[in-house]
Each structure stands twice: as structure tokens, then as C-alpha cells.
Amino acid sequence: MTGATRMIYHFGGGEADGNKDMKDLLGGKGANLAEMSGLGLPVPPGFTITTEVCLEYLRKGGHPEGLREEVASAMASIEKRMEQRFGDARRPLLVSCRSGARASMPGMMDTVLNIGLNDETVKGLAAASGDERFALDCYRRLIEMYGDVVMRTGREEYHRALEKAKHEAGVEEDRHVPVQALQALIVRYKEIAKASAGRAFPEDPKEQIWGAIEAVFRSWNGARAREYRRIHSLPDDWGTAVNVQAMVFGNLGDDCGTGVAFTRSPATGETGLYGEFLPNAQGEDVVAGIRTPQPIRRNASAPGLSLEETMPAIYKELSGFAETLEKHYREMQDIEFTIQKGRLFTLQTRRGARTGQAAVRIAVAMTREGLIVSDEALLRVEAARLADLLADSFPEGTRVTAQRDGRLLGNGLNAGPGAASGKAAFTADAAYAMARGGHDNVPVILVRGETSPEDIKGMEAARGILTARGGMTSHAAVVARGMGKPCVVGFGALVVGEDGRSCRVGERTILEGEFLSIDGTTGDVMLGEIATTSSEIVKVLVDRSLKPEASALYRDYETLMSWADGARRMKVRSNSDTPSDAATARRLGAEGIGLCRTEHMFFGADRIVAVREMILADAKPQRQKALAKILPMQREDFLGIFRAMDGLPVTIRLLDPPLHEFLPRESAAIDEVAAQMGVTARTVRERVERLAESNPMLGHRGCRLGLTHPEIYEVQLQAVFEAALAAAREGVQVYPEVMHPLVGTGEEIRRLRAMTVAMAERILSDQKPAIPWLVGTMIEVPRACIAAAEIAADAQFFSFGTNDLTQMTYGYSRDDTRNFLPVYIAERILPSDPFASIDQPGVGRLVTMAVEEGRRVNPKLKIGVCGEHGGDPASVEFFDRAGLDYVSCSAYRVPIARLAAAQAALKALGGKRR
Amino acid sequence: MTGATRMIYHFGGGEADGNKDMKDLLGGKGANLAEMSGLGLPVPPGFTITTEVCLEYLRKGGHPEGLREEVASAMASIEKRMEQRFGDARRPLLVSCRSGARASMPGMMDTVLNIGLNDETVKGLAAASGDERFALDCYRRLIEMYGDVVMRTGREEYHRALEKAKHEAGVEEDRHVPVQALQALIVRYKEIAKASAGRAFPEDPKEQIWGAIEAVFRSWNGARAREYRRIHSLPDDWGTAVNVQAMVFGNLGDDCGTGVAFTRSPATGETGLYGEFLPNAQGEDVVAGIRTPQPIRRNASAPGLSLEETMPAIYKELSGFAETLEKHYREMQDIEFTIQKGRLFTLQTRRGARTGQAAVRIAVAMTREGLIVSDEALLRVEAARLADLLADSFPEGTRVTAQRDGRLLGNGLNAGPGAASGKAAFTADAAYAMARGGHDNVPVILVRGETSPEDIKGMEAARGILTARGGMTSHAAVVARGMGKPCVVGFGALVVGEDGRSCRVGERTILEGEFLSIDGTTGDVMLGEIATTSSEIVKVLVDRSLKPEASALYRDYETLMSWADGARRMKVRSNSDTPSDAATARRLGAEGIGLCRTEHMFFGADRIVAVREMILADAKPQRQKALAKILPMQREDFLGIFRAMDGLPVTIRLLDPPLHEFLPRESAAIDEVAAQMGVTARTVRERVERLAESNPMLGHRGCRLGLTHPEIYEVQLQAVFEAALAAAREGVQVYPEVMHPLVGTGEEIRRLRAMTVAMAERILSDQKPAIPWLVGTMIEVPRACIAAAEIAADAQFFSFGTNDLTQMTYGYSRDDTRNFLPVYIAERILPSDPFASIDQPGVGRLVTMAVEEGRRVNPKLKIGVCGEHGGDPASVEFFDRAGLDYVSCSAYRVPIARLAAAQAALKALGGKRR
């Protein structure tokens, strides 16, 4: 550092040396305090020692020349502004000392409050505040914090002493410890500090402040901070700034208080100041939640008088500050303030957190108000939060109430957003019977160890799904999201009874028919019935029970979506298997179907018999006979989907799962099937055994089935093209895209393409105008990415199946990760769940390779993704960068993908459109 | 084609226009005939029309100008040499017309024999041969062949007519059809040809020859040939040559004959002419095997008189030719010859096929004789055939005898070479009890549906292993090869009884204790006991029952191996899990252990109880207690291996399989374990269920186990380093290499390395001189290849686990490929089994990527492979090109790998060393 470099930046009194753009030098906190002060807001005065000083200190093990003088002069400046003096027994100035790096690093922040107190000044504070207990308590806290942060004594001994004092005084809460006990505690605290650190707690305020500053410097290289930086890939050469700031207190009388204000409602997005305050209280009292806070604005329905009513001048001043800050930051702000003896101080301002609904309304309103432009509005809404807008919800505070009443059973993985309440059913059949059996539509929650394709009917009938096992991309999770149903999976405490009539959660047994409530947005599982509120947007779009003009939220949502559609490059499709799914997806903005799975069609009650007949047949002619029965039904399925998607492309994936998934496993079911088929149970059992696989994920499935049993794919192709023909003759515009799953080599797709072309020519050749159809592949085994050039020669499109691709690239079966993936994520062995957001350096690299090499061979190759990642915003951004043409996701994630695709496009432009 | 280009090349009469290096122009067959003729050998005269003429013909749909004249003149030249005339009724010249492309294309070869016969010339042939039946039969065959190849009539009708004639004449064999019936057949054949083709069979020999030549030209673009070229990636612009050659007959009397001679013994490699002939016979009679051929050389023990005795002059002439050819080609030759009326003709010479033993002895002998140099000798021995030298074998002809006696049960996959005969046992326990239970060492064949790690003890006790399911890399196959035991897997006809006391093969039931014989070299499975012969080399090297100087084969083997060791760049290690395996591998030339699996150690009877205790424990302290019991045993295991490998590196892979593999599955076994552990059966069952996985291959195993249950790896590391210390103190030189399995991310290996370093420092830090140890990873999940740079930063070595890497890259579970992989290979959807030979464009590309990116980050990275591919010669060549430092394979494949590595190095040099 050269002598010329400035070491200290002042703020406070409506002016500042720094500003918000100086985070590198002043840290995030320091830059922000300077900015607020520079705007003229009443920030308690203070100063920031730069990150460069910290680095210099760490480099040479002592502070740079001249710092001591600069700090002294800065302290004098605070004294002047506060009309107090550091170490003065009558009007003592107290300061805080906090670290603050370029980026927020929670958990490594070292803070010392109340610096400046000692046996003398504490009396001055008592006198000034008129509250001896308060002053002593501040002093006690200083010794503990200073002991911990500066003298490295730890905190345990102090806590033990405090507990002992409370016990002796017969009080429960810290704030009820009497004065005399506090005085004794302070003596004891000093003894603890001295005994632990080998030196006395310094009474000299100057020594206190220097100790604190140096401790903050050193904390940058502490084990905790280094580990944090390693995990988050932050560089070691940033250093931390140190912020020294005058303390203000909101608990010095009735003309004091503290609170938090939002410039708009964080819950609904409504315009106008919003927030809560506590008179005569400290910030931590608000957090502790012991007293009920009062509203800031006049509000008849809220408890207690508002700030507007009790302190109208302060209210007016705060409103002005809020307006200033929102205009200045062009964003809704969350402002912390303290009122000390009738004087308002703003302590912090930051972007206000908000619900999805509020985010949409605020972004659109601010654009309307001219504060921001629409591109900015698009970037302001966290895409994933749109799920909140579409899901049913429980009333606010439901969790707290349930916990208080002992009805909160625990928390699983929030696999499908929304809230649902219903009677517990433990088998798919029971769920179906309960929901559809009676005259009234009984709400049901399907509770299973895990689900399988056989459970589809029960899942459709249920309001929500709860499973003991499985992750975010387990069968239950994927299917539930596809259906837009609330779903909690991986609820480890749950044990479903073998009788299929009950389950256990800990000591608690729940019987069939008892009410359960699950919140798929949070993962909460609760006992009893809880009323849900429907999403306004779903009411308008899907169930049509609300007129568009009746919902302001809907109108803002539509506005935002129209901006998104104008901004994005990638198309958005949906993964939909039925005409009704397809219609829903279309209303939610899907521009086609990216994945229509055909295996669900094989499970229908009217066809599973024929499917099993086909599987049990010994020879091809018998299989063909059985398949002929399935043909007309499958054709109808496709026709329905083509009608629903009139004018849009539909990607149909041929049969993917191994055949054994269609056979029963339990003895009774085997007997039943044998009777239906007219064969012996032994025949069925032998076939089940012959088809059984050790690792079905890597077995005889996908196009391997289509190549070894071409008759299956041929019937499916026939159904696709006949349905297309029928639809076209009805005047429907059809764009069928035939997708072959699990392709790993060029030779596979070459043969499958030939099979597809032959069938299309047979059925469609006479049709005028010609029906435009495509044939392509899923890209889901790693080898397909490596051999993309070979495959692209015979494929018109690629669709990345990133679920399976992730499974095989990592070697993780998503059904089997329960015992290690949570540990991996918790211990940060993995940065995040690769099934939730695509692993860009690993799986993503394979995707990029395949895109580049595939397009090199076949420049017209259409490329999309139809794995669960298609609905994850971070993944969507990656796919945009990788050059994909579209993403496809479950219907209720389509709006998320539309917005995420717009954000990706805007980021790619680097703000050029603005 | 310019007029100047030569269209026709002559051969015969000890001279030729072409030679063996003109394959592009003359095709392989034509070039070879020219070469032989040029050497002065008596090749029946003829000529070759070039491939260029064929291409010209195909291009313009007719032959080039002047060809007709050149063919006529070439025919005249044959006539002169044969002293016969084409179409002459008295001394008719007959010719053959054959295709012949640059490379051999079996199955697309079109051939017409006996061209020149018609109603007139057939009489001349009858007179010249003195055998009317023979002449008529030749004529009949011409009509059929010509009809099929030239007139496209197919062959079916002719066959039907022949069958009818035989039936009417009351004879069984073609050669017994009487003269009159043949005459009638010829009339009928002509009718068939005319009816099918719409035109008559041409009686004009000139028309016959032209028809045949054009047909051969056209066959190049036939569907069969095009498909063949596509599959084998051969270019379409080669074209085929046409070879026209005078016919000679070996069946015109007692001064005639035909045979095959090898310049050395193809069975043992012994020096001296070897072979068989049939007097008065045609080539096809030798093939048909109806008459027993006589030896060429005088041989008291062989049936019949030798050629040496019956035709000494011919024998002498043939011996001279053989010597000429072997010297000329510098390779053992397989020579086809025919004697026509006391005149010897050589019809073909080619490299002689040979057994592994013969290959070694011939290569070494030829080097000794100065015919070739040692580098050539190395390239002359097919590395995979060395397995024959190490395996036990059944006597020659065993299969034929078994088939005749109805004892041949069928054929499975030849998974572990060698022959074994023993009493059938259907459980591992039974095998163990039978083999080890009594006073004498009863030979046992273990017969299972498939094997699992629990069967190890039984596999060790058995002489050979037979399974109904599984492929070349199934558990049974891998373990058997590791043990050097004969093994046949995937024997689909086998159904093992549920009682565990019998099995069925078709209608045949085999009970426990009945004798079975399996040939793991061929895959044959036979009933009954068959005596085996031990390998001489194994007798010298492993069981030491033979002195080295007593075996000429052993000496030649050692010579060849020493040349190989001098030529190769890559090291060769073995996959060995026990001290005795390690010792065997070392004798077979292993330069270290590349893979020592530790899971086998967990299955030992003395420790499985402690292992289960560990798995059933609920908390870490209990697990640690159980692990403490395993520690001393595992330490002893490692100590034994270190001793056996004194001075060589030993790579130890920490626990890899999921824990549930160590728990029992059946009810009775669960009860037993529960009793042993002192817990309820329900506890065991619940744990078994909790640990159960849908896709165990992709589950909670490998380093995932080591990171979630660090106590397991810590105990293993402790055992490794304590054993290393103990060994070092005994004076053993130890080079332990700790290998962490299933690593997929940099963070995994970073933590595992830290764990390893901490343990090594704890145990080894005081040891002087320091024990050199390494820590590295298996590279077996695709992501590890993609993230190699990240992983290499914390690994000292990579070892490719290409079995798992192939499974995950393709998405094939090797346990589940039985229903599609054989179809894929048979129908050439895949060029070969990727588990037998590495998939170079797919899996291989990942390997290359990982090597390049790993070395870029860590230039000192040591890289090897320890999958089954390490013993496959084609894969070894690939690994050499990819720059690996070593390959590791099962002990009995070590010699194969040594030779293959030498061949790879020589090929990489491109002959520069020679």
C-alpha cells in the first residue's frame, strides 16, 4: 500500500466518503452504509477501514503506518456528530465493530457491540438512559462478545455463569436478571475472561477498539472463513473491511423504538409502506418474537396502535426515507430503523424478500410507474417462485399453529408445490376407491413407501402424494409435478404398515381415513384437516372459475408473461401424456409437447391385459396378435393429444420401461394374471423371473426393446401415424415427432429411423398436403453424447433426457440416493442436487459436446431437453447458453420455464436490449 | 480406363504377370495365384481380369473395348498349357470362374465350376477320365451353379429334383446316383433353368464363360455384398477381380488324389511337413469327412499308408514346394494340392492356422532358424491364444465323440479357458463339502443359475464353474478367470432346480454327484467324466511338478516372453486378492498388483459375522467396535500380499460393493444371522429392506460408502498402513497404492485423500527409510473422465475400471444384457461385445479424454487399467496408444497382456525396430 492510499472512509450525518459501488474497498456493508448516508439518511455515524488495510495487516502482521492516527481522528468525528465522547463517564460514546467483505459471508461475520463500556462509563450510560439494568446488561454483553471474538475465550463459561445467576435470582429470562445480580455477573465475567485468556478484559476503550479491529482483520484467515471461501469458490485475496459505528438504542424510553419497514407489501406486492415496530425495544426483541409488534401504517384489523398514530412525525420522516430509498435503488426495500429518544436512525436497507405473488405485482407495477423497464422487471422475479402463484396454499402461520398443537409430524422433500389436505390412503386402489367410490368427492392423500407406475390411478385420484422414500426426481415427484399435485417425498420418519391400512410416524400411528395435510411448497407434513386457498391464476386459466378481469394478480401475471415471451429465444414445451394434461399445459403457455410418454398408456385398465398377453407370448405372431388389440386404443390416445395440440408439435416417445414393469410381482397378483390369461401361475412366474433384472435402469428397455421386439415399436408407430392421418382429415394441424429412447449408437438410430420411415411411408404417403413429421432420439446415455456426430447423421432432433443422463454420468440411481445424496449435499461434497439443477461441469459438458458435434454433422438438428431440468431456472439458463432450441417441462412449470428462458436471453444479451 | 491399361494378368506354368503385392488390382486370390506361379509352382494355368475392368463394367454397364479379344487370347494360352481345348469334345478344357476382391469377403464369393461342359464335351470328359458317372455329375453341378449364379434361378428346384432322383434310385448319397438317373437329371436341370430364367442353359462354352464373368462383376453390387461392405466399413469403389482357371481333378484314378499340407505341425508346432491326403478324391471329399484321410509323412501310428510311401516322387516334389513357400512367405503355410494323373498341382497357399502352442514354438523356431527376427516372432503369435498354453485340455476329438454318444449337452459362453470334469454340485456349500469333506479330493463342477460373492468358497473348491446366466464379465466369469478355473457361463439351456440338488438341460435331469465336463475354451458342456491334460507351462511355473528343462514348450514360451518383456513399454500387473493368487500372478510375470479387491476379505467365514454386526449397528461407535474385530484379520491379509509382492507395487481398492451384499436375503438365513447377532429377525429384515436398492450398481457403494461411513475406510486404511509397516520391518519392500473406488468429483477424492494422508501420517511417519505409498482413484463413472482434471489435482494415479465405465457409458448392466446383447452382436447392431473388447470410439474416447486432461493438470499422474479389458489384446493395444503406464488383468491373462503390450509397442513403432 502506498502512503497516498486512503485507509478510512467516513459516513453519517447525511454525508459519506464512499458509495454503494465501492464494495471491493469498503465491503458490502460499508458501501451500503455510505450510500444511505450519502443520500442524506440519518445513519448513525461511523467509518470503514478498507479491505486493503486488512490485506496489509495480514501480510505484515501489523497495521500500516498512520492508521492509529486516522482511527483516532475518525473516532473524534463520530464523537462530534453524536455529541458524546469515547470513554467519557458522563456522556459515553459506544460503538460497534463489524467485519464486512465484498460478498456476504454469513457465519464468518465477527461483531463486537457496546465497545466503550467499562466500570466508569457504564455509570454514564445508566444515567443517560435512566436504566441501570439496561446499562449493566450492555456491559455484560460486551465482556462476553469481546472475550469470545478478541480474546478467544469461547462463550460457554459465560453462559454457564448467566444460567447460574438466573437460577439463583429465580428468574427465567435474561432481561429479568436484577441489578445486583448483574453487577456480580460482570465481576464473574471478568474473572472468566482473565482465567481463559491469561489477561484481563481491557477497561481502556481505546484498547477495546484496537483489539476489536485487529480481531476482525485476523478473522479473514480463520479456519471457518477459509472453509467458507473454499466451498463457495471465493478468492482469498479479497480481505474484509472493518466498520466502526456509533451505537443507538431503541429501548431508552417511550420515545424510543425499533422496527422493520418494507416499501411495499412483501406478501401481496401492494403499494404503500408496510411493516412492524416495537416501541421501547431493541432489534433483538423484534427477532425474539416475545412481544407482539405493532403495524407501521394505520390498520384497523391489526393489533395495537400504528407508528402512524403514535409517532406521526417519525412516520412521516420514515415514509419519506422509504420513498427516497426505493426510488434510489429502483427496487422494493427492507429498511431497519431505530428511534432513540425521538430521533430516527436508519441502520440498514436492502432488497426486500417477497412472495412470488408480490414479486410479480411489484415488478409490473414498478414498470408501470416508470421506475424500471420491462426487461428489468423480468429479471426481478425469481422464476422458481412462480410456482407459488399456481399452487394451492395453506393460510399463513399454519406451520406455527400446527407445531404449537403438536400436529406437525415433520418435514420431507418439497417435491411438488402446493398444499393439500385429505384422508390418508395407503394403496392406490384404496385412494381411488375412497376418492371416486362414494357420491361425494372425498379428498385423499395417497401415502406410500414409494410409488411405481402401477400407482398412477391412485395418484390421479388423490389430492396430494406423500412418500417415505425417493428424491426430487423419484417417480412420485416427477408424476406429481406433471399432474400439478402437491407432493412431499423422502419423508424418512414415515413407515407404511405392511397391512396397507396404516402408517407410523415416530410413535404416532395414522389409520386409513384419518386426515393428513401436506405442504409441497415447504415439505411440511401435518395431522388433521386444513383448509386450502386456490391460486387465482389457476382459477382463471385452468378451472375457469374466475373471470380474468376479476384478478389484478392474473392481469399482472399475464403482462409479465407476455414480456417474457417477447424476450426469450428458446421455445417452451411441456411433458404431457394425456389430452387433458396437454390442454392444461397449453393454457399455461406450452408451445408443444416435448415429451409424451407412451408407457402410461400401457397401464390403462382396458389394455394392461393385452399388454401382459403380449409379454407372456412366446413367439412374435402371438405378440403381434396381442399388440393388435392395443393399437386402436393407443391410436385414440394420440388422436386426443393431437387435437389438444392443434397447430403445435408433439414429441412422442416410444415405449421406454423394461417389460417386467408391466407384470405383477406378488403371488396373488400373479395368480390373478394367470387366470386372466388362461395360463398357469408357473408360466407367469417363470416369465417374471426370466425378465427380472438386477439393475433395471441399465437393462432391456428403451430402443433395445424396440430393436429386439420390433413388433412393439411398429404397432406404436402405426398408431402415431394413423392418428396423425385421422387428425389431419379432421382439419387438425399435426406435427408428430417420433422419439426413440435410450439410443447409444449410430447404428441403433439408423435402424430405428428406417423402421419409422417405412411405417410413415406406408400410412402417410397418399396424404395431401403432406403431414410434416420428424424422427429423432432421446440423448440420455453418456455414450449418445460421445457419439453424437454418428447419431445426428440419422436423427432430425435430439432431446436430452437429463434425468437418466445424470444418473448414468454420475452412476447414481435416483431411487437409491437416499442414503448418501442428502449427506453429500449437507456436507457440501456436492454443491447441489444434480437432479434438481443440472451439473454444468459434468453432465453439462456432455450436453455441450453433443450439441456441438451433432450440429456439425447435421446443422438443421433441432435440439431440446425433456428431463426435469427443463423446469429449473439455472438449468434453463445453461440450456440457453448451450444453444438449445427448446426446453420441455411438466405443465405447471411451463410459466417458470418461460420466464427463466427470457431471463437467460436477457443475460446473454448482457443488458444490450435495455 | 485408358486403352493402355492392362486388363488381364496371366498365371500358370511356373510364371505369372502379377505378384502378391498387386491385391488392389488382382484381388487377394488373383495376387496369390500369381505369386505361387511366379515362384515356379505348378498352379493350374489361368488369368485374372482386374478390378478396374469390373469398375468400368459397372460404370458403363458393359465391358470395355478389347476385353473380349483379350479373354479369347488368354483362354488360348490356357488351352496350350493344358493341352486341352475349350469346347473340344475330345479333350475338353474346363475352367472355374471366381470372384476375388482386395480383402477376403466370405459369403459374397460367387463361383462357377466346370465351365466348358455341354452335351458334347461331357462325353470327352467321360472318355478322358474313364468315368462316365463322374463326368455327368460334373455337368449336373455346372447347370445348377450356372443357373444360380448367372441365371438367378436359385438352387431349390435342382435340390428337389436331385432328392427325387435319389429316392427313385434308392440311394442315400449323391455320389451313388447311377449314370442313367444322372442323364435324366441333366435333362430335368435344363428344364428347371429354362422355366425359372425364361431362357435356356447355354450349351456354348464361350457364352458360359462370358455369362459367368459378367455375373461376378455384377455380384459386387449385389445386396449381400453391399450389406457386407457396410457392416465391415469397406469402400464401394474397390470392385472385384475375376479369376478364370483350368480345372484339375484328383479323382480320375489311383494316380490321383487331393490333400492339405502344413509346412509344420499346426497342433504342436513341430518342424516337418504335416498333413493329410485322400487318394482318388476331390477336395470336397476331404471336407465331407466320409473317408478317413491318410497322412502325408510316414507315420506308424496313423491309419493307412502315407503319401511318402505311396507316391514318393510326388511327396518329394511337395516337400520341395513346401520349403519354397515357407521360405518365401517366411511363415508356416497351409497348402492345398491336387494330383491329377500323377501330376501335382498346388491350388492355394495361405498362412496356416495353428494352436497357441504351435504358434509359440513356430515363432521361436523360425527366429532360431533365421527366417524371421524376434520382433516379427512377437507379432506372429496371437496373444489371446496364449490362454491355450496355460489351460488344461480335453483330448482332441472329445467334442465329436461326445456328440456321437449323445453326451454333448450344448454350448455356453467360453468364459474361462481350460477343461474340467467333476461331480455336479448345485450350491457353494455342497461344492465345498464334496470337494473338501472326504479323505480324497473329489473333483467338483459348481453349477449355478448365476454366482454371487457368497459363492466364493464353493468356487474355490470346485474344478470348474457352469452358470445358466451371465456374460463374459459376469461375476462367475470374472472370478473364475481370476482363479484360472475353467468356466462356462450363459448356458441358457440349463435350469437349476429349486431344491439345490439337481438341474435340468432340456429333458435331461442331472443329479448332485453326477459327472459333468465343461470346456471353458470352447464353451462345450458334456455329460460324464473326461480325463484332462495339464498345461506343461503351468506344471513348470505354478505347480512346479515339471522341471523347466524337461519341456521344450516351456523353454520356447520363456524365450518369447523375454522378447516381449524387452519390447513392451507398458507394465503388466495382475488383479489378485490373496497371497496365493499374487504368487501365481508373479510367476506368470505380473510386475505388481493393479487391483486387490478387499470385499472378498469381508466374506471370509471368520469375519462375515463381524461385518454383519457392523452393518446392523445403529451408530458409529457400535460400527467401530465391530470394525475393530475385522482390523487384525484384514491387516494379516494385506501383510500376506505384501510379502508375496516383495519389491513390487500393490494397488489396494477400498470396499466397493453396497453393504446389502453382505446381508442374507432368504428367511432362514436372516433368522440365523439374527440369532448370531443376538437381535430379532425383524431388526435384520428391516435393515435388509432399508439397504435394498433398485439399481445396486448405481447405489450406495464405493467411495460413497467411505464418505458417509468414514469409519469403514479408516479401518481399512489402518490395516493397509499397519501391514505395510510390519512388512517393511520384516525387510519386505512394500509399495502400497491406496485406490478409492467410484470417485466422480474432485471434492470426493480431495476428502478421501485427506483421510488417507492423515492415516498414513499417523502410522508411517516415524518409519525410516520412508515407505513410498500413493493414493489414487478408480476412474469408472463417466463423470470421472469428464472431470479428470479436477480429480487429477488430488490423485497420484488413475486406474480405469473399464467394466463399470462401459456399463455406465452404454447404460448396460452386465447382469441384464442376456436378452439383448447377444441379439445386438448377432445382428451387428454392435460390432462386438463392449465388455470383451473396449468400445474405442465411445468408452475409449472417455479414456483418452481423462488421460489427456488428467496429465495436463498432473504430469506425473500414473495411469493404468484394471478392468477385464486389461487382458484383451485389442484393448491392450488401444491402452498403449492412449499412453497408459500399465494394464492389470487376472493372473492367467498376464502372459497374454505381456505379449499384447509388446505387439502394441512394436505396432506403434511401425516396424522401426526391425
What's the confidence (pLDDT) of residue A1? Answer: 45
Catalytic residue set of A: 475, 866
Rg, Å, chain A Cα set: 33
Stated as kind and residue range, the H or E segment containing B348 is: strand B343-351
Chain A residues 751-770 within an 8 A CB cutoff of chain B: 751
Chain A residues in contact with B820 (beta carbon < 8 A): 700, 704-705, 707-708
Nearest to A675 by CA among A602, A614, A612: A612
DSSP-derived 3-state class of residue B74: helix
What's the confidence (pLDDT) of residue B541? Answer: 92
Interchain CB distance below 8 Å, B695 and A809: no
Q: Which of A498, A745, A752 to probe the B interface (max B CBs under 10 A)?
A: A745
Report the distance separating Cα A31 and Cα A331, nearest Å. 17
User: Which residue in B808, B815, B828 is closest to A808 by CB distance?
Assistant: B808
Q: In terms of CA atoms, which chain B residue is nearest residue A492?
A: B690
The better pLDDT of the pair B281, A383 is held by: A383
Query: Measuring CA to CA, how many Å separate B403 from each of B289, B409, B522, B525?
Result: 16, 8, 14, 11
Chain A residues 874-903 within an 8 A CB cutoff of chain B: none
Residue B211 pLDDT > 70, yes or no?
A: yes
What's the confidence (pLDDT) of residue A438? Answer: 60
Any CB–CB contact under 8 A between A850 and chain B? no
Interchain CB distance below 8 Å, B830 and A745: yes
* Confidence label for B2 from pLDDT (cuts 50, 70 and 90): very low
Interchain CB distance below 8 Å, A695 and B698: yes
Pairing label, strands A524-527, A408-411: antiparallel
**B532 with B393: CB under 8 angstroms?**
yes
Chain B residues 697-726 within an 8 A CB cutoff of chain A: 697-700, 704-705, 707-708
**Which residues touch A464 (CB under 8 Å, ≥6 apart)?**
A416, A418, A419, A420, A421, A422, A445, A446, A480, A485, A486, A487, A488, A518, A520
Q: Which of A748, A825, A829 to probe the B interface (max B CBs under 10 A)?
A: A829
Pairing label, strands B240-246, B494-496: unpaired
Backbone phi, psi, residue A558, to 5°: -65, -40
Q: What b/e readout covers B176-195, taking b as 16+ CB neighbours within 10 angstroms?
A: ebeeebbebbbebbbebbee
Q: In terms of CA atoms, which chain A residue is nearest residue B841?
A: A787
Chain B residues in contact with A751 (beta carbon < 8 A): 829
Q: In terms of CA atoms, which chain B residue is nearest residue A785?
A: B842
Query: Measuring CA to CA, how many Å separate B409 from each of B489, B491, B494, B532, B584?
Result: 14, 10, 9, 18, 33
Nearest to B273 by CA among B301, B300, B310, B307: B307
Query: Measuring CA to CA, how many Å separate B77 from each of A223, B47, B125, B243?
Result: 96, 9, 20, 14
**A328 with A377: CB under 8 angstroms?**
no
What's the confidence (pLDDT) of residue B911? Answer: 59
Q: What is the 3-state secondary structure (H, E, C) of B538-572?
A: HHHHCCCCCCHHHCHHHHHHHHHHHHHHHHCCCEE
What's the confidence (pLDDT) of residue B80? Answer: 94
Report the distance separating Cα A211 and Cα A76, nearest Å. 18
Interchain CB distance below 8 Å, B747 and A830: yes
Report the distance separating Cα A263 and Cα B141, nearest Å. 102
Report the distance separating Cα B329 and Cα B350, nearest Å. 9
Q: In terms of CA atoms, which chain A residue is nearest residue B748?
A: A829
User: Which residue in A698, A747, A810 is closest to B811 by CB distance?
Assistant: A698
Interchain CB distance below 8 Å, B813 and A698: yes
Interchain CB distance below 8 Å, A694 and B782: no
**B877 with B869: CB under 8 angstroms?**
no
Q: Is the dihedral of CA A455, A461, A465, A467 positive or negative?
A: negative
Query: Measuring CA to CA, how many Å separate B801 from each of A891, B385, B868?
Result: 41, 24, 8
The better pLDDT of the pair A221, B862 is held by: B862
Q: pTM for this one?
A: 0.84
Encode pLDDT of B72-89 as tens digits. Answer: 999 999 999 999 999 999
Report chain A (914 residues): mean pLDDT per 10 consecutive residues: 74 91 93 94 96 93 90 95 92 94 78 94 91 92 94 91 92 86 95 94 95 93 83 84 95 89 90 90 66 82 83 96 95 94 92 89 97 96 90 87 90 88 93 76 91 81 90 76 84 87 91 94 92 91 91 96 98 95 96 94 83 86 90 95 98 96 85 86 85 92 96 97 97 98 97 97 92 98 98 98 97 88 86 92 98 98 94 96 97 96 94 58
User: Which residue in A781, A786, A813 is closest to B694 by CB distance?
Assistant: A813
Chain A residues in contact with B695 (beta carbon < 8 A): 695-698, 813, 815-816
What's the confidence (pLDDT) of residue B639? Answer: 97
Task: Please give the single-letter amino acid code of residue A686.
Answer: E
Q: Which of B467, B688, B804, B809 to probe the A interface (max A CBs under 10 A)?
A: B809
Closest CA–CA distance from residue A829 to any residue of chain B (Å): 6
Report the distance separating Cα A490 and Cα A488, nearest Å. 7
Chain B residues 64-93 within an 8 A CB cutoff of chain A: none
Closest CA–CA distance from residue A373 to any residue of chain B (Å): 41
DSSP conformation class of A533: B
Interchain CB distance below 8 Å, A783 and B830: no
Report the distance separating Cα B637 and Cα A123, nearest Å. 74
Encode pLDDT of B727-782 as tens digits. Answer: 999 999 999 999 999 999 999 999 999 999 999 999 999 888 999 999 999 999 99
Closest CA–CA distance from residue B780 to any residue of chain A (Å): 9
Chain B residues in contact with A828 (beta carbon < 8 A): 747
Closest CA–CA distance from residue A562 to any residue of chain B (Å): 39
Encode pLDDT of B542-551 as tens digits. Answer: 889 999 999 9
DSSP conformation class of B251: -
- Detail the DSSP E strand segments found in B582-717: 593-597, 649-653
DSSP conformation class of B353: P
Interchain CB distance below 8 Å, B695 and A697: yes
Any CB–CB contact under 8 A between A833 and chain B? no
**Which residues touch B743 (CB under 8 Å, ≥6 apart)?**
B702, B703, B749, B752, B777, B778, B779, B781, B784, B791, B795
**B34 with B26: CB under 8 angstroms?**
yes
Interchain CB distance below 8 Å, A693 and B846: no
Any CB–CB contact under 8 A between B839 and chain A? yes
Tell me the count of A-B CB pairs closer than 8 A: 163
In Å, the largest CA–CA distance within chain B is: 103
Residue A723 buriedness (CB in 10 A; 0-12 / 13-18 / 19+): buried
Report the distance separating Cα A842 and Cα A820, nearest Å. 19
Closest CA–CA distance from residue A792 to any residue of chain B (Å): 15
Encode pLDDT of B510-519 as tens digits. Answer: 999 999 999 9
Interchain CB distance below 8 Å, A829 and B707: yes
Interchain CB distance below 8 Å, B830 and A707: no
Encode pLDDT of B121-151 as tens digits. Answer: 999 999 988 889 999 999 999 999 999 999 9
Catalytic residue set of B: 475, 866
Report the distance separating Cα B449 and Cα B498, nearest Å. 10
Any CB–CB contact under 8 A between A493 and chain B? no
Q: Which of B814, B816, B857 to probe the A interface (max A CBs under 10 A)?
A: B816
Long-range Cβ contacts of A710-713 (<8 Å, 24+ apart): A710/A755, A711/A620, A711/A623, A711/A624, A711/A627, A712/A614, A712/A623, A712/A627, A712/A655, A713/A654, A713/A655, A713/A740, A713/A752, A713/A755
Report the distance separating Cα B660 and Cα B676, nearest Å. 17
What's the confidence (pLDDT) of residue B782? Answer: 98
Any CB–CB contact under 8 A between B808 and chain A? yes
User: Which residue in B691, B698, B830 is closest to A697 by CB distance?
Assistant: B698
Closest CA–CA distance from residue A750 to any residue of chain B (Å): 10
Report the distance separating Cα B881 and Cα B904, nearest Å. 8
Closest CA–CA distance from residue A808 to any residue of chain B (Å): 5
**DSSP secondary structure letters along A125-141:** HHHHHT-HHHHHHHHHH
DSSP-derived 3-state class of residue B748: helix
- Grid coordinates of B890: 487376472
Angle at A400 between CA A395 and CA A405, to 5 degrees: 105
In the β-sheet with B419-425, what is the strand arrangement from edge to edge?
B408-411, B524-527, B515-519, B419-425, B444-448, B464-467, B487-489, B413-416
Interchain CB distance below 8 Å, A786 and B804: no
Any CB–CB contact under 8 A between A693 and chain B? yes
Interchain CB distance below 8 Å, A811 and B700: no
Closest CA–CA distance from residue A107 to any residue of chain B (Å): 22
Task: Please give the single-letter amino acid code of residue A333.
Answer: Q
What's the confidence (pLDDT) of residue B229? Answer: 83
- Grid coordinates of B591: 510386475
Nearest to B38 by CA among B329, B242, B375: B329
**How many residues are listed for chain A in this entry?**
914
Closest CA–CA distance from residue B794 to any residue of chain A (Å): 14
Chain B residues in contact with A809 (beta carbon < 8 A): 781-783, 786, 808
Nearest to B211 by CA among B156, B158, B145, B124: B145
Q: In terms of CA atoms, which chain A residue is nearest residue B747?
A: A829
**DSSP secondary structure letters along B468-522:** SS--TTSHHHHHHHHHT--EEE--TTEEE-TTSSEEEETTEEEETT-EEEEETTT
